[in-house]
Amino acid sequence: MANSRRVVIVGGGSSGWMAAAYLNASLNKRGTESNVDITLIESPDIPRISVGEATVLSIKHILGVIGINEQDFMKATNATFKQAIKYVNWLQNDNSFYYHPFNRFSPKPIDRMALAWLASDKSLPFVETCSAQPSICEAGLSPKGFEAQNMGSPFAHAYHMNAQKFADYLCDIAVSRGVKHVLANVTDIELKDNSHIAAVGTDRAGRFEGDLFVDCTGFRAKLIEEKLGVGFEDCSQWLLCDRAVTMHVPYDKHYPGTVRPYTTATALSSGWVWDIPMQDKRSIGYVHSSAFIDEELAEREMRAYQGGECDELASRFIHFKVGRRHRTWEGNCIAVGLSGGFIEPLESTGLYLSDVGVVMLAEHFPYKDENMDAMAFRYNRILSNRFYEILDFINMHYCLTQRTDTAFWREVQKPERITGRLKAKLDFWKIKPPSPLDFEDQCFSGMSQEPLSLELTGGDNRVAVDNAGIWNHLNYQFILYSMGFDKVSEDLYGKNKFQSQMHPLVARRLAGAKANLPSHEQWLKQILGMSDFKTTTRPAGWV
């Protein structure tokens, strides 16, 4: 252990314990070898933000490396399945909706499904021509059966879960495998030089030296900002929401009669509300812009969405800044989670940035001090690209809306609210559908090639590149063609349209699913032991 690299993680929660458990599993072979000595310092006095969390597919890599069984994980975190996101009232305020699913059928060797749909009468939504999951979600089916069945490849899924229980679960695993857990407040941060931390002091557990420090202190950014002074790029010009009012809705008093196998994102007057189902409650939260609605009205609107006499349920406001740290790795300090940046979780990327930050740190782990700068350079470049990829994708959901019923929705459509990168992508996709090669180097006509400021990037002034690290051309097609972008096809494909239809293989897959899959609620009860609840009333805002 004397020659081990010392990693000190400051801050717990989901980000901190993901870092501890994943680094221990990947660098120490799940704790059986001690190449890295990991200590996590967690304040016993700072309350954790506890909300329901929706994840993306990458969470399975984290669980797999740590060695977590799916059912054990779901029982420990009150988790449910997530197969898609259902967007309600995003195009028009008329209860219309569309799905962004995980599964999509892609014919080989050439996928012409987008071209075929653009040339059709569009009587069937594009997503339903190439994916069975929207219909599976509408039917409330589980992505898994009670037993293994010959239904072809499994339906891709992620999870909804209790984030606080997830942190506690990872804590138990990590500590049992050798991670040191210290309950104390960090009171002092000692520097070796202007950009390298030597040690942190605490109020009740002494001093901790380290070779690498991971800042998981949330929006406080206690190490990366308060001590090292790394700046923050404000991206609120592109995403206007800066508040969330949240509420837990327990099933023992407010059970809607079903557990949806998807996340719902419903657009309201000045933002949108997430609706995340778990095994014992739903988590809802209204993400909104304080420039267009005050806190009292925002809370009232969220409660109206829930309906059902929910006045007894406690709510809480969260203030946030949309943006990114100029450098997430500075010296020997790496910011993971909210300390490194934040984008509203419209596409369930809340945990993703923590996830990818931790996975990349393991891959770029500096076993020698002389390798630190080279590792930091690549880490910062890749993380900044991922951030801008998310920023553009979320920005696209807003700027394509056709809503004009409130000032907020009129504002988000204005040209100055659309990132330059996204404008160039959309202009290009007016003349062809998104395809894999569009993400080869992300240099489109009209896209700015102005170098970035070295002061803001730590030495890498190249323009950002979207390499489809999270979403590829198929994901873009789902959103574009669900939000009216297909109207650009009239000039290209003519007015004589054939009827759009579900691909025969998709139809066959859907029929098999309906014949063999149980309801989501049935699966949760039989496999995980979810409790029975008496149905009350469904939320007023449900579609």
Q: Which are the catalytic amino acids?
A: 82
Rounded Cα gap, residues 196 and 366, in angstroms: 14
Rounded Cα gap, residues 164 and 45, in angstroms: 15
Q: Is residue 159 helix, strand or coil? A: strand
Query: Which amino acid, one-letter code, is at 165?
Result: K
Q: Which two tokens stand for residue 503?
A: 């691909």
Rounded Cα gap, residues 293 and 271, in angstroms: 9
Q: Which two tokens stand for residue 40?
A: 């996590």
Pairing of strands 232-234, 186-191: unpaired
- In the numeric block, the tokens 């009333």 are attached to 537
Angle between the 352-363 and 13-27 helix axes, to the nearest 10 degrees?
A: 30
Q: Which two tokens stand for residue 451?
A: 């170098």
Q: Which two tokens stand for residue 380?
A: 């910062």
Rounded Cα gap, residues 442 and 451, in angstroms: 15
Pairing of strands 333-335, 212-215: parallel
DSSP string, 477-535: HHHHHHTTGGGGGHHHH-S--BPP---HHHHHHHHHHHHHPPBHHHHIIIII-PPP--B
User: Which of these, 299, 254, 251, 253, lies nearest to 273 by C-alpha position?
Assistant: 299
Rounded Cα gap, residues 90 and 93, in angstroms: 7
Q: Which two tokens stand for residue 540?
A: 């007023």
Distance of CA 503 to the CA centre of its chain: 30
Q: Which two tokens stand for residue 20?
A: 């501890």
For residue 240, give Cα distances in angstroms to 232, 304, 391, 417.
17, 22, 12, 9
Is the torsion defined by CA of 237, 406, 541, 295 positive or negative?
Answer: positive
Helix (H) or strand (E) holding 426: helix 420-428
Rounded Cα gap, residues 393 and 378, in angstroms: 23
Question: Is the CB of residue 262 less than 8 Å from the CB of residue 102?
Answer: no
